[in-house]
Structure 1
């Protein structure tokens, strides 16, 4: 808090009186009650770095690179392998009744609805062949920090623009693979090789691929659909003979979705977060009076109320009747290319900084969520709001080891599945329209 003695004195002049003095306990002790609003309370904020996020089991993979002035350079790579091709013995092998002519082979990716960065920029995509098979850890998971060894030189490189709405081909990205790979697969099918019999056998031959952005890219991190249909390697071929006209056919090799994952790295060296680590959270006073939240990179904010007990000095007895926390994104830190999260979650952190799963509120069994209220006309009143009445009522009067703090982060649907981000101004941020605000309604009793 600023200067508490000054604050408490000023409060008597700046608060709004909701009602006149009143008396309770007609036949007991005469007690005067005053309703007051405290609007100048300072909330302490810190940016924290959490553990790596699990990226197996998602319905999307990430690839691309974006230079964010607030969050640093974010680079995403994805890793996945494939099921063997299913083929017909009437077309391949010693019992074939037609002749097969290889045409082409391609990797096809389907765009998801999320991207982070400037999608109007030209992007480079490198495809590397993996040198090792993808193996899950003891929890059957892989993470944003996981990786698998791949060839040094790209197998294939392409450049592309992420399609904008209403483009002719706005759903998929098709990348031609080397003909030699397709011809080799045809030879294996003609030989009815054991390598094509099972997934385990097939990945000893073809261990999978890694998708990576260009080294100098500064465009966007893309997401692509991950399901039983995409990504897919599609082999096109033509059959000739067998008493039928020439036919064009295809064989698909689908992804084993259980081991597909994304690696997401950050370089914060040229940002106010350069010294941030899991063991070194940064108070907003060291980061330009701002704090940072982001999904898969693990950034969240800790909120503390160290001087809450000072309001007890307002009278003989002080009761918090209501408390609303307003969180305002800093202007200029979000756009259509880097959208704000739709919801934020608020949760307890215990005295050791460990998150408690349930927001402590007698009326709910889930964490509290704040929904984005967006000012699309003037852009000056965009915010999230939280009712922290129960929390502050519980905290009022506690000291030392009994005090806790709050954790502000993206809700699970976006925290574990996107790179959406948020920059918040603290109570001293230069632009007062972007400052966090805590409004506390109290009833103060003074014995006569």
Structure 2
């Protein structure tokens, strides 16, 4: 591979010239290699369908730029809300994501910008998750507990997403994909380890507030 620059040299006559820039194999970036042998991620292989549930990773989810680790979020029991009343109205829905305590510090800081993307059943990206104005892309709203770190979390307003997916199933049910913004995902090793241990007080969760309406007998 090379870059060839064609130009014209003008003196007593015009002469077509060219410069060839070859790849410097000592410094050229060609890719990232990583070895996860002996780590919780050792059995993860590349491919959209080769996802691993967080319960198989010690109730943790790993997100990292350049290495291709991202998270897929689904809400398989969402339709159970419909059993709460004859009519169910979603008032608000907020997703809280808690980084694992001790997995970050002053040197290895949490990224301030992470994104949720809406996908279909085949993991094809359809859109971003926007704010309440319908225009601004949400970036995780990172809240940092500088004292104890216990209440450090990212949060996303999923009200519209939950409203749109309540009562859907199969090919009509959308998913969420969590990743860095496109720039950080392609140029940095920024990372987050999320914890989802049901035995811990601080764990990833979806808080939904809803109203129910029932016909008076």
TM-score under structure 1 length normalisation: 0.42
CA contact (8 A) 1:316 1:447 kept: yes
The answer to which structure has the higher strand fraction is 1
Are residue 264 (structure 1) and residue 32 (structure 2) matched?
A: yes
1:382-413 CA distance string (max 9 Å, x none): 11110000000000011222111101111223
1:366 Cα offset (Å): 5.5
Task: Give the 3 Å change call, closer, same or farther, for CA 432–135 of structure 1 in structure 2.
Answer: farther
Are residue 386 (structure 1) and residue 156 (structure 2) matched?
A: yes
Counterpart among 431, 434, 438 of residue 200 in structure 2: 431
Instruction: Give the whole-Å Cα distance in 1 for the aligned partners of 2:93 and 2:132.
Output: 16
* Structure 2 SS opposite 1:414: helix
CA contact (8 A) 1:329 1:423 kept: yes
Instruction: Give the whole-Å Cα distance in 2 for the aligned partners of 1:310 and 1:444.
Output: 13
Instruction: Give the whole-Å Cα distance in 1 for the aligned partners of 2:132 and 2:30.
Output: 39
Counterpart among 170, 179, 182 of residue 409 in structure 1: 179
CA contact (8 A) 1:357 1:367 kept: no
- Bigger RCO of structures 1 and 2 (CA < 8 A, at least 6 apart): 2
Counterpart among 68, 78, 84 of residue 314 in structure 1: 84
CA contact (8 A) 2:60 2:194 kept: yes
Task: Give the 3 Å change call, closer, same or farther, for CA 361–401 of structure 1 in structure 2.
Answer: farther
CA contact (8 A) 1:358 1:366 kept: no
RMSD: 2.2
Listed as ranges, the gaps of 5+ residues in structure 1 are 1-133, 137-196, 212-259
Instruction: Give the whole-Å Cα distance in 2 for the aligned partners of 1:271 and 1:328.
Output: 21
CA contact (8 A) 1:395 1:403 kept: yes
Name the counterpart of 2:168. 398
* Structure 1 SS opposite 2:161: helix
1:294-345 CA distance string (max 9 Å, x none): 0111111000000001011111111101011111101111122322111110
Counterpart among 336, 350, 353 of residue 106 in structure 2: 336
1:364 Cα offset (Å): 2.2
CA contact (8 A) 2:130 2:138 kept: no
1:255-303 CA distance string (max 9 Å, x none): xxxxx53521111121121121214110011111111100111111000
Name the counterpart of 1:324. 94
Instruction: Give the whole-Å Cα distance in 1 for the aligned partners of 2:169 and 2:25.
Output: 55
Name the counterpart of 1:171. none
- 1:21-32, aligned counterparts within 5 Å? none
Instruction: Give the whole-Å Cα distance in 1 for the aligned partners of 2:76 and 2:192.
Output: 24
CA contact (8 A) 1:328 1:382 kept: yes
Are residue 443 (structure 1) and residue 211 (structure 2) matched?
A: yes
Instruction: Give the whole-Å Cα distance in 1 for the aligned partners of 2:131 and 2:141.
Output: 18
1:368 Cα offset (Å): 2.7
Name the counterpart of 1:124. none
1:421 Cα offset (Å): 0.3
1:74-94 CA distance string (max 9 Å, x none): xxxxxxxxxxxxxxxxxxxxx
Are residue 210 (structure 1) and residue 26 (structure 2) matched?
A: yes
1:133-153 CA distance string (max 9 Å, x none): x458xxxxxxxxxxxxxxxxx
Instruction: Give the whole-Å Cα distance in 2 for the aligned partners of 1:431 and 1:274.
Output: 25
Name the counterpart of 2:43. 275
Listed as ranges, the gaps of 5+ residues in structure 2 are 4-16
Instruction: Give the whole-Å Cα distance in 2 for the aligned partners of 1:272 and 1:429.
Output: 19
Name the counterpart of 2:12. none
Name the counterpart of 1:290. 60
1:362 Cα offset (Å): 8.2
